[in-house]
Structure 1
Amino acid sequence: MDDQNKNLLIATGLSFVVILIWFLLFPPPEEPAVDQQEPVATAPVEGDAATTPSTATPTEGTEGTATAPQAETADAPRLPIDTARLGGSISLTGGRIDELILKDYTVTIDEDSPKVQILEPVGTGHAYYALYGWAPGNGLEPADVPGANTEWQVESGSSLTVDSPVTLRWDSPAGLTFRRTVAVDKNFMFTVTQSVENTGEASVSAAPYGIVARHGEPVGRKKFFVLHEGVVAMADGKLNEIDYSDMPDMDMVASEGARADVTQVAENGWIGFTDHYWMTTLIPSQGTAFKQVAKYDEGRDIYQTEAVLPTVTLAPGETQQVTTQLYAGAKEYETIRGYEDAGVDRFIDSIDWGWFFFLTKPIFWLLHHLHGLIGNMGWSIIALTITLKAILFPLAFKSYVSMAKMKELQPEMEKLKERAGDDRQKLQQEMMQLYKKEKVNPASGCLPILLQIPIFFSLYKVIFVAFELRQAPWFGPFQDLSTPDPTSLYNLFGLLPWAAPEPGSTLALIFVGILPILLGISMFLQQKLNPAPADPTQKMIFAWMPWVFMFMLGGFASGLVVYWITNNTITFTQQYLIMRSQGYTPDVFGNIKSGFKKTPKDDKPAK
């Protein structure tokens, strides 16, 4: 096998190694150690054995729990939420924000598809909600503070709108008056102000908290290595991500009967759950110290994130209040960046940029602005790929020039092999002399290809995680670039009178659509720029690779396949033209013909 094919094989092999490292060995972030002496304020979550918040005095570090009354909140009294972008309601049982519908987005592109609902009450299936409260401290018992099942009264407001906040009130048996005022902006940000007035005769203390609780893993979770789903948190500039699957492996906190990851935040931070396209995040006032808690209750299969604020002490007649925010909505780049500009520290990092964030961020920025100019995500992906290929053209030029020079030296190298015979050391020495004489570096063709791998993996990451691709149309049958190709060979791409197989089914993987077929053809043609390897095993691998990839990637998002087709087409064109300019014309059609010829068997030696 000549050195050119060796370079190509090495580059291909190393590319797979990089991807496999990401796939199989992607390490989860290190989990901060839990300080067992510090109390972990507990959210009163519902289930088969719901509990009240911790009864610990926040400054003492001792804890206990008590059984709370059961409550099904689907039919509880409610306050409606009604903005241009949000619908839903707040349950007066617990004062939970537990029903939230995104008016701008539907589950599918079908005309009768329901709107996306990201928060659900307890008792309606997969409960997911935000809850606020106070952990009792000195002078208070659990019954003296509002909990998960506290019945709040409406003090002001009949419906939560952008212009009309609502205020809930609860009078404690201990002589405290608790109020909770909820406001919402024009997008997805809630502002929750909790206040407590001490109308009693003794000083008391309590710690305010906010919680996002989720019963069970989300339905339809992707479980794909390139996408993070689970806890996302920022603590004083440090990002922490914990997958749902990793939460059962967190350290056990014996006093809570749950596994927890606890981080003390000095100034700025936030914590919540992120899915592919949606996010629910607790955001204490920036500049405020608080405790982040990610928790998993194995007995009830409840995932939970908490923001526990410092304990406040109230003298008789004193009132204290604390304000936090809750982001619950779509992971829209412009919206999230707007909140970061308004003061939420590094909020843009709630989007899953991955290890190569220094590449994925600028690549997404470019895609975002191209989409703003073009107005069509399919053509924007093609324009982005062309732009990146243009930026990387110097590397590609160097690589393909090296390939052409190696091809020119091929006759000389064959002569060296004949003269050296089985003397491998002599062959290597003479080849090195030839390279030196002709000023050719055999590794120079491989290195530029390897340098491009992180860039194109970052592009792949961006296209996969970008919210802007969700239900983004291109043309014709391609009306959602975040889903697999809807066309299929099964019905001759719509010419036959039956429907294409359901995406993700076995038939859909076998009878691929137009885009995967074009991908396979583009890989096949790119491969035929060089003659097939002489080694039969390598020849077989190269022959099958385009078609294996065609079926493997057929179930991927259409936007990703569009990118791969564009990239392969540009790479083929660049390599062909550059190699011709260097005096070597690839025999594409000749290489295709030779690929259909059977390899002759070695002649048997004469007896």
Structure 2
Amino acid sequence: MKQNNNSNLRIILVVAISFLFIVVYSYFQKPAQVPEKTTQEIATPLTTNPAPSSLQAKNKTPDVANNTQALNTSTFDPNKIIATIKSKEIEINIDSLGRISQFYLKDKKFTAPKQEGLIDHIKRLFGFAKKPQEVITKLPLLGNDLPKPLEMRFSDIATNNQAFEIPYKASLDSIELKNTPETLVLTQNLNNLTIKKIITFYPNLQYDVKIEVSRLIPYVISSGMRPVADADGYAFHGVVLKDAEDKIEKVEDKKADGKSEQYIGAKFIASVDRYYTSLFFTKSPKGFDAIIDSEIGTKNPMPFVAFDGNAEFQGYIGPKNYKELKEIDPNLTDVVEYGIITFFAKPVFLLLNFLHSYTGNWGWAIILLTLIVRIILFPLSYKGMVSMQKLKEVAPKMKELQAKYKDDPQKLQSQMMQLYKKNGANPMGGCLPLILQIPVFFAIYRVLYNAVELKSTGWIFWIHDLSVMDPYFVLPILMGISMYMHQVLTPNTIADPTQAKIFKLLPVVFTVFLITFPAGLVLYWTVNNIFSIIQQLLINRMMEKKKALEIAEHKHSHNEDGKIQKEKTK
């Protein structure tokens, strides 16, 4: 019996330790914050590594590594805003180098300050709290890192230097974007080259780009470095690309290997953080030639698209909202990234999104999702719980076997297996449902953590944002209590007192580590525990009735045997 108790406990502890390991590992894998660059650095093209000669031989990919000379900033201010595009939801600034210098979101969903919690109130009560967060009217998405969106670089050094020393002229200095697309024309006249960027902006944050050059010349244009509006390190930060074979390529910040990687026929290239993206995509069946270069020093990936002459493509800057990206181009839904478990997390999100379309509230959608998961896993959960009940019933007989064969381990093991088989008990059955919950748990964790749809969305009363921790710790405490209650109701097959104490500590351990997790995730785990409690109560009652029926039948049979024996005696 002790051996099997050890097996059960080991499985449970492995699950708990794996859970804690992933939490701790994710925390220490947060990318280091890169200091913002000064104005002088912004005005200087960054050094990049040479592009491999495979595409250069076709005269299609310029050697952007030649763009290393400092700019003559005395001629003009490269950061001067020459055009502004505004709508109710966004604001876009275009600088004198024809780049998107900054992109602002103005929706309250993105500008709302973080909800203050219990600790903040206590600090305020004792005079230790800082002033309340200032309410911002617009959220800037882009940082100071180069390249900026729509920044062009040329392999010809002379042309490239001119391109960074001569300002663009805008057809309009201000555009009010309402319900229809609006077009802006940016023109740059170099000594031997005229460049036109014809940009059409749409209300859904998409923009179309048409590049016209007066002569055939190879160049690259960037979709920009990743947004910096959300610096949380648990999510993927870097460049995501979909190649010609629909394979997703990813290069994380700090992990670019210093080489330029080319992808012929790519469908999109995107710089992403947790919630936002700046990307280029094309609806052409041929795709475009995308390059992921490496920023010297930081080893951050830099995205480019290579052209040779005139070009047309599309762009997007904004939140990684699944539905909106799908409406723009179904390929763009792959920009929403959930880590190594994306293959499983994406269907979970689609189901959650479907439930939300009916409930209108993400909190209730999470509760319905939990119920569906419980129904799917019910057959295994039911078998596991019944097995635990049967193990409890055979526990006295197991102690007898242990006493009888204490000096013969092989015989003891054989007798135990026979006893399990005879009574239909499985010592591993109770752990199987818990193990199956783990991939579901992490899939839901990644969905709730990465889905911008849940940002600033409330549930009831004190929960105003399901994407961040419960500010008053109510859900984590309820989760711990419900986990403990489920432990109490579940038949205990652990005979060793030390092991039993360790097992009882698990609710406390999980509560502590889930305190900082998104409220939506803790809601899922709490509701899951409640459903488990209800299921366990029903099974316990069913087993009690079954046992009472067996006892009644046994008594009836015994009485009948007694009557027959009396009749024979007479």
1:264 alignment partner AA? Y
Alignment of 1:360-439 (within 5 A): 360-439=345-424
Residue 108 (structure 1) aligned with residue 107 (structure 2):
no
2:129 aligns with none
Q: Tell me, what secondary structure is at the counterpart of 1:334?
A: helix
2:211 aligns with 194
With over 3 angstroms needed to count, the CA separation of the structure-2 counterparts of 1:476 and 1:438, relative to structure 1, is closer
Alignment of 1:591-606 (within 5 A): none
1:305 aligns with 302
- Which structure 1 segments of 5+ residues have no match? 27-44, 199-203, 251-258, 313-320, 488-512, 587-607
Q: 2:186 aligns with which of 161, 165, 168?
A: 168
Q: Tell me, what secondary structure is at the counterpart of 2:443?
A: helix
Residue 580 (structure 1) aligned with residue 547 (structure 2):
no
How far the C-alpha of 1:551 sits from its partner, in A, is 1.9
With over 3 angstroms needed to count, the CA separation of the structure-2 counterparts of 1:66 and 1:389, relative to structure 1, is closer
Asked whether the equivalents of residues 396 and 448 of structure 1 are also in contact (C-alpha less than 8 Å), the reply is yes
How far the C-alpha of 1:20 sits from its partner, in A, is 6.2
Query: How far, CA to CA, are the matches of 1:8 and 1:584 in structure 2?
Result: 27
1:518 aligns with 478
Query: How far, CA to CA, are the matches of 2:314 and 2:229 in structure 1?
Result: 26
Q: 2:521 aligns with which of 546, 555, 560?
A: 560
1:151 aligns with 167
Q: Tell me, what secondary structure is at the counterpart of 2:80?
A: coil
1:475 alignment partner AA? I
Residue 64 (structure 1) aligned with residue 59 (structure 2):
no
2:195 aligns with 178
How far the C-alpha of 1:197 sits from its partner, in A, is 1.9
Query: How far, CA to CA, are the matches of 1:351 and 1:120 in structure 2?
Result: 18
Query: How far, CA to CA, are the matches of 2:418 and 2:143 in structure 1?
Result: 75
Residues 538-547 or 515-524, more deviating = 538-547
2:502 alignment partner AA? I
Aligned length: 502
How far the C-alpha of 1:263 sits from its partner, in A, is 2.9
Query: How far, CA to CA, are the matches of 1:52 and 1:415 in structure 2?
Result: 77
How far the C-alpha of 1:149 sits from its partner, in A, is 4.7
With over 3 angstroms needed to count, the CA separation of the structure-2 counterparts of 1:541 and 1:83, relative to structure 1, is same
1:96 aligns with 99
How far the C-alpha of 1:74 sits from its partner, in A, is 8.1
Q: Tell me, what secondary structure is at the counterpart of 2:231?
A: coil
Alignment of 1:148-547 (within 5 A): 148-155=164-171, 158-159=174-175, 161=177, 162-174=180-192, 176-198=193-215, 204-213=216-225, 218=228, 221-224=231-234, 227-236=235-244, 237-247=246-256, 250=257, 259-265=258-264, 267-288=265-286, 290-299=288-297, 301=298, 303-312=300-309, 321-341=310-330, 346-487=331-472, 513-528=473-488, 529-531=490-492, 533-547=494-508
Asked whether the equivalents of residues 85 and 92 of structure 2 are also in contact (C-alpha less than 8 Å), the reply is yes
Query: How far, CA to CA, are the matches of 2:302 and 2:410 in structure 1?
Result: 63
Q: 2:158 aligns with which of 127, 133, 142?
A: 142
Asked whether the equivalents of residues 390 and 424 of structure 2 are also in contact (C-alpha less than 8 Å), the reply is no
Q: Tell me, what secondary structure is at the counterpart of 2:70?
A: coil
Query: How far, CA to CA, are the matches of 2:468 and 2:250 in structure 1?
Result: 26
How far the C-alpha of 1:354 sits from its partner, in A, is 3.2
TM-score (norm 2): 0.79
1:410 alignment partner AA? A
1:147 alignment partner AA? A
- Which structure 2 segments of 5+ residues have no match? 27-39, 116-132, 548-570
Asked whether the equivalents of residues 93 and 101 of structure 2 are also in contact (C-alpha less than 8 Å), the reply is yes
Q: Deviation per CA, 1:130-150, whole angstroms, max 9, x where unpaired?
A: 1332524xxx65337863454
How far the C-alpha of 1:444 sits from its partner, in A, is 3.4
Asked whether the equivalents of residues 205 and 317 of structure 2 are also in contact (C-alpha less than 8 Å), the reply is yes
With over 3 angstroms needed to count, the CA separation of the structure-2 counterparts of 1:74 and 1:480, relative to structure 1, is farther
Q: 1:129 aligns with which of 137, 148, 155?
A: 148
> Which structure shows the higher helix fraction?
2
Asked whether the equivalents of residues 407 and 584 of structure 1 are also in contact (C-alpha less than 8 Å), the reply is no
Q: Tell me, what secondary structure is at the counterpart of 1:391?
A: helix
1:305 alignment partner AA? M
With over 3 angstroms needed to count, the CA separation of the structure-2 counterparts of 1:467 and 1:580, relative to structure 1, is same
Higher relative contact order (CA 8 A, sep 6+): 2
2:243 alignment partner AA? A
